[in-house]
């Protein structure tokens, strides 16, 4: 029978609809009925309730072979254990865990609820929602309503609700019962703390949490900016490392809480999974270097402590690299052990310095005491040893925030002590030169001496040519400005400009290294043949050199310059490869005239140099010669 045009599409649509209906009927048929209430009690929901902080007596089972599906759970044939949701805490293993949550709306009107999983560090969270029917009698065959696939191993936008935790919206019809089947698998510890919230409560809870998190992170940002300002103003290394520690510790907490995955890298599940060990290692490295500088652990004064800090830092750097490749389940355990070792070591170093009478070490040690209280509970909850991860997260925030504040306060107190000591030293220096005052000011004088030396070195670098060691153009300008004019000298001064002939050919034929060697050799010749205490020698340009000879007549200057040209002409530059090259110089000399500026003098000497080069090079042209 012929099918009319366009009929194929309608027939295909009918066939697909029949297949879909057959699959829907065949799927639930395997589950026959929902899990009996005698096995897993149904949780009744009323409008009077706003929150159920922890679902009571939740049914679950462990899937070691990863061979089960949601139909196997609904079938009710598998033995399931029951436990309150806040007790669904499991240490790391390779199993998947299935959780069955039946819910019933007791109201004659529809209700909206949110099922919340309060542990953000889970790789895979798969959810199936089934309709169990309305009224006290469940449907014979549960009907699948929706499926969700969430977790750190998947993109953040795959979640049904944009939230750092796993939120599942549930829409109940009048007197409707729903069954939620969850499958959870992760590379670390597994916590399944399930809670229920009405729509208003969920919105309010999100606002309250956002406010508290914003206040906490805002406080961290302010402390980080304060430490950064200290570093920029005073150049104190420990403030820089404390800034890095605050930033990395904040990123670690936001990674643990799921905020970084939500706001910083939602499209990078790999980074969301790796950010915890990476930021933890960076935070420890920053804190190690802060400890080294804050406690003044130098190799000269505390050699063993300095070795310990370096060894822990190298291990941390290796773990940071390993965090990019090693499986999460393994690296997080190694990082945790490393963190405990580092924290105990830094706490011990603080105690050692406290016994030595260092006042700033008191606050350093106290900050660790406060931090340990929050970190211990947080670590045990994160690894599945104790329940209540969200509650322990708040304790961790309190502990970490208090530690950072105390470390910053310790810095301020240390600066206060240093300023007070400096004032005492200044007062003592004004009154006497006693030995005690000298010992107290030794460190300050050494620091000021180093700074002065650094300033001198910086000035030398800005005024001298790095290749030849002669003055550069800026140095020449300053030297000319300091020289007396011709009316103040017993004899007028003379300026000579030397130019290396055919320098480009030297570079082209022998390479730039040979050109540099030629320039340095010319500079040495000028220093040896011209340099007096009052003379000024400079490299003005690429191959141009300037000699300023105060209190030197033009005739004497011509004799000196001719000697330079003759020496260069008769000797060859020896290169490192054993070869040698001949060089010649052209020169222009001008005598300083009364009322003439250094620029006028330089221009006349440059004109004479041009005449020397135009006249065949390898010669000297001075004022009055043609």
Q: What is the pTM of this model?
A: 0.57
In tens, the pLDDT along 185-200 reads 988 778 888 989 888 7
Six token digits for residue 399: 């502990």
The answer, yes or no, to whether residue 7 has pLDDT greater than 60, is no
From 157-166, 315-324, 461-470, the region with the lowest mean pLDDT: 461-470
The answer, yes or no, to whether residue 307 has pLDDT greater than 50, is yes
In tens, the pLDDT along 215-268 reads 888 888 998 999 899 889 888 888 999 999 999 988 988 888 888 888 888 888
Rounded Cα–Cα distance for residues 614 and 626 (Å):
11
The answer, yes or no, to whether residue 290 has pLDDT greater than 80, is yes
In tens, the pLDDT along 397-439 reads 777 888 888 888 888 888 877 787 777 777 766 666 566 666 6
Rounded Cα–Cα distance for residues 293 and 92 (Å):
38
The answer, yes or no, to whether residue 545 has pLDDT greater than 90, is yes
Rounded Cα–Cα distance for residues 525 and 514 (Å):
16
The answer, yes or no, to whether residue 2 has pLDDT greater than 60, is no
SS (H, E, C) 25-55: HHHHHHHCCCCCCCCCCCEEECCCCCEECCC
SS (H, E, C) 473-517: HHHHHHHHHHCCCHHHCCCCCEEEEEEECCHHHHHHHHCHHHHHH
The total of other beta-carbon atoms located within 10 Å of residue 207's CB is 10
pLDDT in the model for residue 487: 53
pLDDT in the model for residue 428: 67
In tens, the pLDDT along 254-263 reads 888 888 888 8
The answer, yes or no, to whether residue 394 has pLDDT greater than 50, is yes
Q: Which long-range contacts (CB under 8 A, 24 or more apart) does 313-320 make?
A: 313/285, 313/288, 313/289, 316/281, 316/284, 316/285, 316/288, 316/342, 317/285, 319/277, 319/281, 320/278, 320/281, 320/282, 320/285
What Rg do the C-alpha atoms of the chain give, in angstroms? 41
pLDDT in the model for residue 504: 86
pLDDT in the model for residue 460: 65
Rounded Cα–Cα distance for residues 111 and 105 (Å):
7
Residue with tokens 């959780």: 99
In tens, the pLDDT along 334-349 reads 998 998 899 899 999 9
Rounded Cα–Cα distance for residues 37 and 55 (Å):
15
Rounded Cα–Cα distance for residues 196 and 204 (Å):
13
Rounded Cα–Cα distance for residues 188 and 221 (Å):
30
Rounded Cα–Cα distance for residues 211 and 205 (Å):
10
pLDDT in the model for residue 434: 63
Is 319:288 a contact under the CB 8 Å cutoff? Answer: no
The answer, yes or no, to whether residue 393 has pLDDT greater than 90, is no
Show Cβ contacts of residue 421 under 8 Å, excluding neighbours closer than 6 positions.
440
Q: Between residues 495 and 1, which one has the greater pLDDT?
A: 495
Mean of all residue pLDDT scores within the chain: 81
pLDDT in the model for residue 101: 92
SS3 197: strand
pLDDT in the model for residue 27: 40
Rounded Cα–Cα distance for residues 262 and 258 (Å):
6
Rounded Cα–Cα distance for residues 266 and 253 (Å):
16
pLDDT in the model for residue 178: 92
């Amino acid at each position: 029978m012929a099918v009319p045009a366009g009929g194929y599409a309608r027939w295909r649509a009918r066939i697909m609809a029949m297949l879909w209906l057959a699959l829907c009927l065949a799927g639930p048929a395997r589950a026959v009925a929902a899990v009996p209430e005698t096995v897993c009690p149904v949780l009744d929901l009323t409008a009077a309730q706003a929150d159920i902080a922890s679902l009571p007596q939740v049914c679950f089972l462990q899937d070691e072979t990863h061979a089960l599906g949601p139909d196997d759970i609904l079938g009710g044939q598998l033995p399931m254990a029951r436990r309150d949701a806040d007790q669904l805490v499991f240490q790391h293993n390779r199993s998947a865990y299935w959780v069955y949550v039946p819910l019933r709306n007791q109201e004659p009107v529809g209700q909206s609820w949110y099922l919340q999983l309060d542990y953000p560090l889970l790789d895979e969270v798969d959810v199936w929602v089934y309709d169990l029917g309305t009224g006290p009698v469940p449907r014979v065959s549960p009907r699948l309503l929706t499926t969700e696939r969430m977790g750190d191993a998947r993109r953040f936008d795959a979640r049904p609700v944009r939230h750092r935790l796993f939120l599942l919206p549930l829409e109940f019809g009048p007197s409707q019962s729903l069954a939620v089947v969850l499958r959870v698998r992760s590379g670390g510890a597994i916590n399944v703390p399930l809670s229920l919230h009405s729509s208003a409560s969920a919105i309010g809870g999100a606002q309250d949490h956002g406010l508290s998190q914003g206040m906490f992170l805002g406080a961290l940002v302010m402390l980080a900016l304060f430490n950064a300002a200290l570093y920029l103003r005073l150049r104190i290394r420990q403030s820089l490392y404390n800034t890095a520690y605050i930033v990395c510790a904040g990123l670690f907490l936001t990674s643990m809480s799921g905020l970084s995955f939500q706001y910083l890298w939602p499209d990078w599940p790999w980074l969301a999974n790796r950010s915890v060990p990476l930021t933890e290692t960076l935070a420890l490295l920053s804190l190690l270097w802060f400890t080294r500088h804050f406690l003044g652990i130098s190799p000269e004064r505390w050699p063993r402590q300095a070795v310990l800090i370096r060894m822990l830092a190298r291990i941390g750097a290796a773990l940071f690299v390993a965090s990019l490749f090693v499986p999460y389940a393994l690296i997080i355990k190694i990082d945790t052990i490393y963190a405990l070792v580092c924290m105990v070591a830094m706490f011990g170093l603080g105690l050692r310095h406290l016994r030595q009478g260092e006042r700033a070490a008191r606050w350093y040690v106290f900050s660790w005491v406060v931090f340990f209280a929050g970190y211990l509970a947080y670590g045990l909850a994160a690894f599945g040893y104790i329940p209540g991860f969200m509650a322990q997260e708040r304790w961790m925030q309190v502990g970490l925030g208090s530690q950072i504040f105390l470390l910053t306060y310790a810095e301020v107190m240390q600066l206060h002590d240093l300023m007070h000591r400096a004032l005492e030293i200044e007062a003592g220096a004004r009154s006497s030169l006693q030995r005690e005052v000298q010992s107290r000011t030794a460190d300050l004088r050494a620091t000021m001496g180093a700074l002065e030396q650094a300033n001198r070195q910086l000035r030398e670098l800005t005024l001298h040519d790095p290749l030849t060691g002669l003055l550069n153009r800026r140095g020449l300008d300053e030297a000319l400005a300091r020289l007396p004019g011709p009316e103040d000298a017993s004899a007028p001064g003379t300026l000579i400009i030397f130019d290396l002939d055919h320098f480009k050919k030297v570079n082209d034929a022998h390479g730039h290294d040979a050109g540099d060697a030629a320039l340095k050799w010319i500079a040495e010749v000028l220093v040896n043949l011209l340099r007096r205490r009052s003379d000024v020698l400079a490299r003005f340009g690429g191959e141009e050199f300037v000699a300023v000879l105060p209190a030197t007549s033009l005739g004497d200057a011509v004799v000196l310059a001719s000697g330079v040209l003759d020496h260069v002409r008769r000797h060859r530059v020896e290169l490192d490869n054993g070869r040698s090259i001949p060089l010649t110089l052209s020169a222009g000399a001008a005598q300083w005239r009364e009322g003439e500026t250094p620029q006028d003098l330089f221009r006349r000497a440059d004109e004479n140099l041009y005449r020397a080069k135009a006249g065949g090079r390898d010669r000297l042209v001075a004022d009055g010669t043609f």
